[in-house]
Amino acid sequence: MNVAIEEPERLGRTELPDGRMLGWAEWGPQDGTPVLLCPGAATSRRLGFGAETISDLGVRLISVDRPGLGASDPMPGRTLNDWAHDVRHLAEARGLERPAVVGYSQGAPFALACAAAGVANGAAIVSGTDELAAPEFADALIPQVRGMVEAVVDDPAAAEASFAGFGDPETMWEIAVAGSSDADREVYLQPPFERAYRRAMAEAFSQGPAGYARDTVLATGRWPFDPAGITVPVDLWYGSQDASPVHSPDFGATLAGRIPTARHHVVPDAGASLLWTHAERILRSLLHRTTGG
């Protein structure tokens, strides 16, 4: 399947109350329904999705760099809840009201933090990193991932330093491709997609590896919010061919059981790349559940 990737239509930075700047990219009509993207691991605001459908759906897609990545200023020691506060201020400053959020891969806990805090009016979690440190997954993770989770829980600072030690765009690209299914490599290795993906990775690491390292600690450790307390609609999307060991051991089934408002979708023959291969379906469902459209 050929995937369309387009350059952002608008780029900018917004100042937060503490003086930090958040970098963002936008696609679609400026008066469209706002949908805020929390990108995947080690990527930046530049890698959007749904280029062929967002204008038809009337979606204003806003992808935001987390602190320390891309064009966003760092915030040492930040938490998932801090991200929800940042998004609240960004939404107020840019007139987004309560946007819907999409969390892809490692962006999933950041999107769920927004949903839990009432910052978002709904969420779509796509190929999302689950709460791997939760007791439910104690025996479900492969040894390498189990070791990573235990390292984060036991000594977060040491784990963060370790992640920073090997984090760079080339390594992350190699890990992404090597750990992918055939269905995903067919997408990732399309020349236009590979160029866009690798450019987003290069931008994400433009300030060094600290932002990626902090993200990984936050996503891998225990989450500071209870998914059971989320009251806005949540769609969980996974592809049955998703081979990533750091997404969800059961394709979101446990997470769906923890979120009272969740709808759980497992798409046959799709992989982790279904954010791009099934963008219209994901966005239509999100819009229907948040706006009735």
Q: What is the pLDDT of residues 176-223, one digit of tens each?
A: 999 999 999 999 999 999 999 999 999 999 999 999 999 999 999 999
Residue 16 to residue 87: CA distance in whole angstroms: 10
Alpha-carbon gap, residue 18 to 183, rounded angstroms: 44
What residue spans of 67-107 are helical by DSSP H? Answer: 80-94
Q: What is the pLDDT of residues 109-161, one digit of tens each?
A: 999 999 999 999 999 999 999 999 999 999 999 999 999 999 999 999 999 99
pLDDT value at 12 more than 80: yes
The predicted structure's pLDDT at residue 166: 87
Q: Give the whole-angstrom CA distance, residue 49 versus residue 65.
A: 15
The total number of structural domains that make up the chain: 1
Residues 36, 195, 282, 123, CA torsion sign: negative
**Strand runs (DSSP E) across the chain, as ranges?**
10-15, 21-27, 33-38, 59-64, 100-104, 123-126, 234-239, 262-267
Within-domain flag for 3 = no
The answer as to whether 85 is a domain residue is yes
Whether the pLDDT of residue 254 is over 80: the answer is yes
Inside any domain, residue 233 = yes
Q: Is 235 among the domain residues?
A: yes
CATH number for the domain that contains residue 205 = 3.40.50.1820
Task: Tell how far CA 16 is from the center of its chain.
Answer: 21
* Residues whose CB is less than 8 angstroms from the CB of residue 147 and which lie 6 or more positions away in sequence, other chains included: none
4 located within any domain? no
pLDDT-derived band of residue 8, with 50, 70 and 90 as boundaries?
very high
Instruction: Tell me whether residue 2 is in a domain.
Output: no
pLDDT in tens, 16-75: 999 999 999 999 999 999 999 999 999 999 999 999 999 999 999 999 999 999 999 999
Domain assignment present for 109: yes
Note the pLDDT of residue 155.
Answer: 98
Closest CA to 68 of 189, 194, 217, 175: 217
pLDDT for 2: 81
Cβ atoms of 54 and 28 within 8 Å: the answer is yes
Structural domain span for residue 87 = 10-291
Q: Is residue 5 situated within a structural domain?
A: no
